[in-house]
């Protein structure tokens, strides 16, 4: 029952009432309270009347005037579930909203029991009332109790005016209810003077509780309007003065033991924690302010259609993002797999190229040793071969000359000559080594000449090298194509990761703005067809 009432109250809360509740819970934090408190103190020092917190709320209400009611209703509902750390659900059916509202009422009730000892005592005597009714009755009673002392300070004329409006409400009730109220108040007649005396004697909280007991919660609407009319005399500001717990909450926040750590740089985490703590303390007030208009009015048709429509748009958008992210993840895995396969193919091609090049070197070595052991003069290869052969012979002759000179020096055996010959021989040895390198160079040049020729010399080796070179050309072409393909895959992978990051940020932003969506990740596939159509 309580859950149904809270849910009905939520979807029927509209206009300024909705925006005031929204502004108090969602647009208020410690900074606003401290700032308002400071400004009020300064105003009092300068003997000026001010209520900066009320002004803050009014400003926030004005900012929300162009936002649709159903959008604010959904945001307000989700914020309550966030503050209570409830697990989110889809809210696509009225019953899902009602079930979550039931949990909200139960949790807020338990919270109020812990944070207010007076409520614990009050609840014991109200076992016939539901938890929601107990919370509303207690908070309204608390407000009226605070007004009793002020009422005594009214002039008789003001007391009578106040009592007259209370009596006007009673007179609007059916006769049998008027009689019940009269009997419970212990008065003979329902006159303004009798009501005034009852309030002055028993207190407004007792009188109002009796009226509510007989007529229902509708009287609270009249009572708050009545308080607004006499706000100046009571020393309160309405409509925001009906937020009964606010005064005590501000008092706690204004305590130096709390303010000083914040002002000394308690850090973002501390401030965020205290903001959440403040909002949780406001939840009983929020529940009361949400439900009072609904509980006080005549029954009207309640529709969840707009609320569910707003939620479904958000949920379907979230599902769509989840599907997109899942697809991007699949594409990432596919690209990574293809990149690995491509790298493996490139590695295999490199191995093939290496093996083919080894084979070419082996065939060239065969030609090299064949040239080295052949009579080069007998070979008719090509013009280039002849030129390199001439250089080869010249170098070979030079080497022979160096060796011959070395032998001559070795014959002379005088002591000084032998010492001189050692230095001379060392130079000769180095010259021979240098020329032998040149000799080897020209021999390899002749190997290349043989490969390029059409002579009969080493035809098998030449044919083998030619075939290998054709294969190598194909291998290098394949390698080039695979590298280009790999680069395109890596470019696509980079784009996919960028897309993933963007989608993930959108998902996290939606989860931050719509508490509970993160709990639905596993079930987003249930609305996949609808997401695709959207």
* 438 in a structural domain: yes
| Whether residue 364 is found in the same domain as residue 275 | no
CB 482, CB 346: distance < 8 Å: yes
* 27 in a structural domain: yes
| Length reported for the chain | 534
Domain CATH code at residue 327: 1.10.287
**Separation of alpha carbons 508 and 498, rounded Å:** 15
- Give me the pLDDT at residue 228, please: 55
CA angle 244, 248, 250 (to 5 degrees): 110
* Domain, as residue range, for 359: 321-513
* 185 in a structural domain: no
* 161 in a structural domain: no
- Give me the pLDDT at residue 254, please: 42
Running along the chain, 534 residues long, what does each successive block of 10 average in pLDDT?
A: 94 91 81 54 51 73 94 97 94 96 97 90 88 89 74 83 87 90 88 89 83 76 62 45 39 41 44 69 88 76 95 95 96 98 98 97 95 90 93 90 72 54 67 86 94 93 96 98 98 98 96 93 49 37
* Main-chain dihedrals φ then ψ at residue 265, nearest 5 degrees: 90, 45
Number of domains in the chain: 2
| Whether residue 21 is found in the same domain as residue 142 | yes
| Whether residue 50 is found in the same domain as residue 9 | yes
Residue spans of alpha helices (H) in 374-458: 383-411, 415-452
**Separation of alpha carbons 329 and 504, rounded Å:** 11
User: Quick one: tokens of 518?
Assistant: 């993160």
* 218 in a structural domain: no
| Whether residue 259 is found in the same domain as residue 354 | no
Compute CA distances 392 → 100, 375, 433, whole Å. Answer: 98, 12, 15
Quote the pTM value: 0.71
* 55 in a structural domain: yes
Helix then strand then coil, % of the chain, to nearest 5: 85, 0, 15
- Give me the pLDDT at residue 225, please: 63
| Whether residue 297 is found in the same domain as residue 399 | no
| Whether residue 273 is found in the same domain as residue 402 | no
| Whether residue 286 is found in the same domain as residue 409 | no
User: Quick one: tokens of 176?
Assistant: 């049998």
- Give me the pLDDT at residue 241, please: 40
**Separation of alpha carbons 524 and 521, rounded Å:** 5
**Residue 69: CB partners within 8 Å, gap ≥ 6?**
13, 14, 15, 18, 306
| Whether residue 258 is found in the same domain as residue 363 | no
| Whether residue 384 is found in the same domain as residue 253 | no
| Whether residue 389 is found in the same domain as residue 504 | yes
**Separation of alpha carbons 89 and 353, rounded Å:** 61
């Amino acid at each position: 029952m309580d859950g149904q009432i809270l849910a009905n109250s939520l979807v029927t809360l509209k206009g300024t009432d909705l925006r005031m509740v929204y502004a108090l819970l969602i647009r208020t934090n410690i900074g606003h309270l401290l700032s308002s408190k400071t400004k009020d103190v300064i105003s009092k020092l300068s003997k000026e009347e001010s209520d900066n917190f009320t002004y803050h709320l009014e400003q926030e209400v004005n900012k929300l005037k162009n936002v649709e009611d159903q959008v604010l209703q959904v945001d307000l509902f989700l914020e309550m579930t966030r503050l209570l750390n409830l697990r989110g659900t889809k809210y696509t059916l009225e019953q899902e909203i009602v079930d979550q509202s039931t949990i909200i009422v139960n949790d807020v009730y338990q919270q109020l029991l812990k944070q207010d000892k007076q409520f614990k005592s009050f609840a014991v005597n109200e076992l016939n009332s539901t938890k929601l009714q107990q919370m509303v009755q207690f908070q309204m009673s608390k407000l009226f109790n605070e007004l009793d002392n002020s009422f005594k300070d009214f002039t008789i004329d003001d007391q009578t005016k106040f009592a007259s409006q209370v009596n006007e409400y009673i007179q609007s009730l059916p006769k049998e209810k008027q009689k019940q109220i009269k009997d419970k108040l212990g008065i003979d007649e329902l006159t303004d003077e009798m009501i005034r005396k009852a309030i002055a004697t028993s207190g407004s909280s007792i009188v109002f509780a009796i009226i509510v007991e007989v007529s229902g919660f509708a009287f609270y609407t009249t009572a708050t309007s009545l308080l607004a009319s006499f706000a100046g005399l009571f020393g309160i500001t309405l409509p925001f003065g009906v937020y009964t717990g606010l005064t005590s909450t501000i008092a706690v926040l204004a305590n130096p033991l709390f303010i000083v750590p914040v002002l000394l740089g308690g850090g973002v985490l501390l401030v965020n924690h205290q903001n959440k703590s403040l909002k949780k303390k406001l939840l009983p007030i929020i529940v009361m302010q949400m439900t009072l208009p609904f509980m006080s009015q005549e029954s009207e048709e309640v529709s969840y259609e707009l609320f569910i429509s707003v939620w479904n748009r958000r949920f379907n958008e979230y599902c769509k993002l989840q599907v997109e992210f899942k697809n991007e993840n699949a594409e990432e895995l596919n690209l990574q797999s293809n990149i690995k396969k491509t790298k493996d193919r490139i590695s295999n091609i490199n191995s093939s190229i290496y093996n083919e090049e080894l084979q070419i070197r082996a065939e060239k070595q065969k030609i090299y040793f064949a040239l080295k052991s052949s009579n080069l003069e007998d070979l008719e290869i090509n013009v280039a071969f002849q030129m390199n052969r001439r250089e080869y012979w010249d170098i070979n002759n030079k080497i022979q000359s160096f060796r011959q000179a070395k032998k001559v020096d070795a014959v002379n055996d005088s002591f000084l000559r032998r010492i001189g010959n050692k230095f001379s021989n060392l130079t000769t040895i180095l010259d021979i080594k240098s020329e032998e390198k040149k000799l080897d160079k020209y021999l390899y040049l002749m190997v290349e000449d043989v490969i390029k020729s059409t002579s009969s010399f080493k035809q098998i080796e030449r044919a083998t090298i030619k075939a290998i070179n054709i294969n190598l050309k194909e291998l290098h072409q394949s390698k080039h194509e695979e590298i280009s393909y790999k680069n395109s895959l890596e470019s696509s992978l980079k784009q996919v990761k960028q897309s993933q990051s963007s989608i993930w940020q959108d998902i996290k932003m939606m989860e931050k703005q719509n508490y509970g969506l993160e709990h639905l990740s596993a079930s987003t596939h249930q609305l996949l067809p609808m997401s695709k159509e959207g």
